[in-house]
Structure 1
Amino acid sequence: MLTNIRWLKAILLGVLTLVTIVACNSQPEVETNQNAANAPAADLSQLEFGVGPYFPTPNENRNQFEPLFEELAEQVNLPAKVIVTEDWIGISEALRSRTLDVAWLGPWGYVLANHNEPSIEAIATVKYKGKPTYYSVLMARADAPFDTLEEAIAQSQAGEKLKLSLADVGSTSGWLIPTAEFERRGIDPKEVFDYSEGASHAAQAIAVMSGQVDIASDYDRNLDVLASEGRIDTSNLKIIWQSEPLPNDPIAIRGGLPEDIKTELQNSLVNLSPQQTQELLPENYTGFVASDGSNYEPIREAGKLVGKLE
């Protein structure tokens, strides 16, 4: 009997010892995971910024946007790494995969990225000539035998199809908004026109003026840039359709970026002085307004209309 009692005590003592060891070993692991989830901003070694193909070449893009990104990084005491992508989808995918921390996106790129990864947030919308909005346009040569989109559609349906060029499918003004407009009219542009898509914005006006296409999509800001650089003469073009005002480009951040970094970036953007905007931003960009993403609802609605969003 005494032997059985001793045997039972030994088992109980072993179980208590095992529980104590497991508890002691588990506690640091829980603390480590919590610390990782709330990693301070100081744990970031740099801020990685991205920007899409706004200007004709990657070097031009870098020269135009790098000063702003470097200033923003300096405000949070981190070095900046700037990545220039050659397509609109790439920049939103990089933000979604968290290979970028901050990105200057097109509105459609932001909406797609946020739709696929809701933790991606817009923190500011850029102002152009004092306004946080811009326009998508369809343009033709000034001497084209039609003045409106309605006339162009009628001409293309009645005879030889007109050549229509839309930009790449990641572009808000160059693809999404014109495609949504055709959808509203109950028209399939691939049937009505000799249709192509995928062109860069920089090539669209040139293609129209050179006679490669009859109609091309673009946005008013880009035409301003091309004209100011002497690349096009806008008197050789005419706008045959213009959208309703669209929200300008957002600055967006990836999910998981520390809250203090997010707040400081937003404050820095919104509080840029007029002198700073002249020094840090491309021509005619005049600062930022704060955004929580709600101003991009018209873009979401267009995405639903063309069947790209549920």
Structure 2
Amino acid sequence: MFKNRWMQSVLLGMMAMLVVVACTPTPTTQSPANAPDAAPLTQLTFGVGPYFPTPNENRKQFEPLFNTLAEQVKLPAEVTVADDWIGISEALRSRTLDVAWLGPWGYVLAKHNDPSLQVIATVKYKDKPTYYSVLMARADAPFNTLDEAIAQSQQSGTKLKLSLADVGSTSGWLIPQAEFKQRNLDPKTIFDYTEGASHAAQAIGVLSNQVDIASDYDRNLDVLTAEGRIDKSQLKIIWQSDPLPNDPIVVRGDFPEEIKTQLQEALVNLPPDQAKTLLPTNYTGFIASDGSNYAPIQQAGVSVGKLK
């Protein structure tokens, strides 16, 4: 009799468990930001890479824009200034940041690892959404073109010193590397080669005779000249790239759609007079972008073997 009661208890327990399981909702793969119970944003975290020589200068240049954008969506802003280009991309990809002003190559690298990242705008410089990578030398250098510099470095007893920038830089590393790849040349064998310098150090390195040739981008040379850091007349451009897409404004994956739309509209509709007060010198506003204009950067990444 005891045995029968014990069996009845077990069967009743099993039936109760089946009822509970049957009534439990099946988990979904809905992303946290789109889930009905997702916590609303309480602030917007913005990030920017090392465009200017010091973090304080970077913050001074970009914080006004980020604060204004946050005001548009009625949220406080928190601004992070990264020490290197790859760092800011990784912070966005890891969801430490909501929105970032990235370099084109940094965006392509981050997008490659996290397809959920989305471009919402491309900045305009002197009313154009493009810029140029350059290789520069001193104005009195005994060569005027990259071809001449390559020939001199190969034929003379002493190799010319070439400095490329941070490997996360579009204009300072990726595009010059792609140019050498297209020529079927290895800069490490042709030149006395170094890489990793900040853009701010590149022109100064050339002018101070530390290197013979250095990479940079036209916008940065304008900034250094305007700030009195260099005399651009003492430099010459020995090579210039095709037009490259300017920097993108990128939002993390799972970013709220409504806020993304509001930010994009605020950027694209930024009045010219307000752009002068909110953006660094010569930056004049934004165009809408879905990221497709960065295809040439992706192609360059493939050509140098950094992307597949």
Instruction: Give yes or no for contact 1:41–1:258 (8 Å, CA) kept in 2.
Output: no
1:156 aligns with one of 153, 156, 160: 153
One-letter amino acid of the structure 2 residue matched with residue 154 of structure 1: A
Q: Is residue 198 from structure 1 mapped to residue 196 from structure 2 by the alignment?
A: yes
One-letter amino acid of the structure 2 residue matched with residue 299 of structure 1: I
Q: Is residue 305 from structure 1 mapped to residue 303 from structure 2 by the alignment?
A: yes
Aligned residues: 305
Q: Cα distance 1:205–1:34, how it changes in 2: closer, same or farther (>3 A)?
A: closer
Q: What's the CA shift for 1:43?
A: 1.2
Q: Is the partner of 2:184 in helix, strand or coil?
A: coil
Q: Is residue 77 from structure 1 mapped to residue 61 from structure 2 by the alignment?
A: no
Q: What's the CA shift for 1:74?
A: 1.1
**1:93 paired residue number:** 90
Paired with 2:195 and 2:233, the residues of 1 have a C-alpha distance of 25
2:40 aligns with one of 38, 43, 46: 43
Q: Deviations over 1:204-258 (max 9, x none)?
A: 1011111110000000000000011111111100000000000000000110111
Q: Cα distance 1:39–1:77, how it changes in 2: closer, same or farther (>3 A)?
A: farther
Q: Cα distance 1:83–1:40, how it changes in 2: closer, same or farther (>3 A)?
A: farther
**2:227 paired residue number:** 229
2:174 aligns with one of 173, 176, 179: 176
Instruction: Give yes or no for contact 1:121–1:254 (8 Å, CA) kept in 2.
Output: yes
Gaps of 5+ in 2: none
Paired with 2:38 and 2:262, the residues of 1 have a C-alpha distance of 11
Percent of pairs with identical residues: 73
**2:108 paired residue number:** 111
Q: Give the alignment's TM-score, normalised by structure 2.
A: 0.93
One-letter amino acid of the structure 2 residue matched with residue 144 of structure 1: A
One-letter amino acid of the structure 2 residue matched with residue 304 of structure 1: V
Q: Is the partner of 1:265 in helix, strand or coil?
A: helix
Paired with 2:30 and 2:239, the residues of 1 have a C-alpha distance of 55
Report the more deviating stretch, 7-16 or 176-185: 7-16
Runs of 4+ in 1 over 2 A off after TM superposition: 6-24, 29-42
Q: Cα distance 1:269–1:149, how it changes in 2: closer, same or farther (>3 A)?
A: same
One-letter amino acid of the structure 2 residue matched with residue 230 of structure 1: G
Q: What's the CA shift for 1:22?
A: 3.5
Q: Is the partner of 1:289 in helix, strand or coil?
A: strand
Instruction: Give yes or no for contact 2:33–2:254 (8 Å, CA) kept in 1.
Output: no
Instruction: Give yes or no for contact 2:34–2:256 (8 Å, CA) kept in 1.
Output: no
1:239 aligns with one of 237, 240, 246: 237
**1:282 paired residue number:** 280
Instruction: Give yes or no for contact 1:41–1:260 (8 Å, CA) kept in 2.
Output: no
Gaps of 5+ in 1: none
**1:19 paired residue number:** 18
**1:255 paired residue number:** 253
